[in-house]
A and B are shown apart, each in its own frame.
Chain A
Amino acid sequence: GAGVSQSPRYKVAKRGQDVALRCDPISGHVSLFWYQQALGQGPEFLTYFQNEAQLDKSGLPSDRFFAERPEGSVSTLKIQRTQQEDSAVYLCASRPGGSYNEQFFGPGTRLTVL
């Protein structure tokens, strides 16, 4: 079946612009995660949804970062007034829920802020 998909795959923004990154999880997956991966490092947690409820947003680096999942399926990560330090790959992951905890990742969106 289809995996996790993300769009756009690449985004170039000028400093100060707002961007929106989309994630389509695997159909039926209850849990959705956003991670940020800087060059040469492992992914780092940003935020977590269970259905439409955002249960953990402890990893969001500033109040310029906002995520939503209004119908418990597609999610959008929005970054306002982008800064150069926001340049990274943004990864989305989903998992089925229940007792099975394996997470499956999308291909990521590479954001470059000039």
Chain B
Amino acid sequence: GIQVEQSPPDLILQEGANSTLRCNFSDSVNNLQWFHQNPWGQLINLFYIPSGTKQNGRLSATTVATERYSLLYISSSQTTDSGVYFCAVERMDSSYKLIFGSGTRLLVRP
């Protein structure tokens, strides 16, 4: 099956710093989503980005489908950005289910 690898696994930042999270996937995909799982366990949709670049406030994401990777950029980090960031992909064979990476655990210190 498709492999989804996220890096780094853990990241500690000082408030105000910038960071880049990476997601590599091993096969062609129909769909790629980035999520933030907050400390209460809720998965919050950040980006639906099977290809191209999108921006939403301090966050932006880029997916290069032909090279099978996606990047999530966090600028001017805040303590509320803490949590786990997941990348999830849907295979090109339209199996519909999302395959998740193991996540990047981010801690932003004040």
Binding site for B on A (CB under 8 A): 31, 33, 35, 41-45, 48, 55-56, 59, 89, 91, 93, 101-105, 107-108, 110
Contacts and interface: CB of A to CB of B under 8 A. Distances in A.
B64 interface: no
14 contacts: A33-B97, A35-B98, A42-B102, A43-B86, A44-B100, A45-B97, A45-B99, A48-B96, A55-B96, A89-B41, A101-B50, A105-B42, A105-B45, A110-B41
Contacts of B101: 42
B42 to A, nearest CB: 5
Contacts of A43: 43, 86, 88, 98, 100
Main secondary structure of the interface of A (DSSP, over half): strand
Nearest to B87: A42
Contacts of B96: 31, 33, 48, 55-56, 101
Contacts, number: 55
Contact of B31 (A45, A89, A102): A102
A107 B98 CA distance: 17
Given A42-B86, A42-B103, A103 B41 contact: no
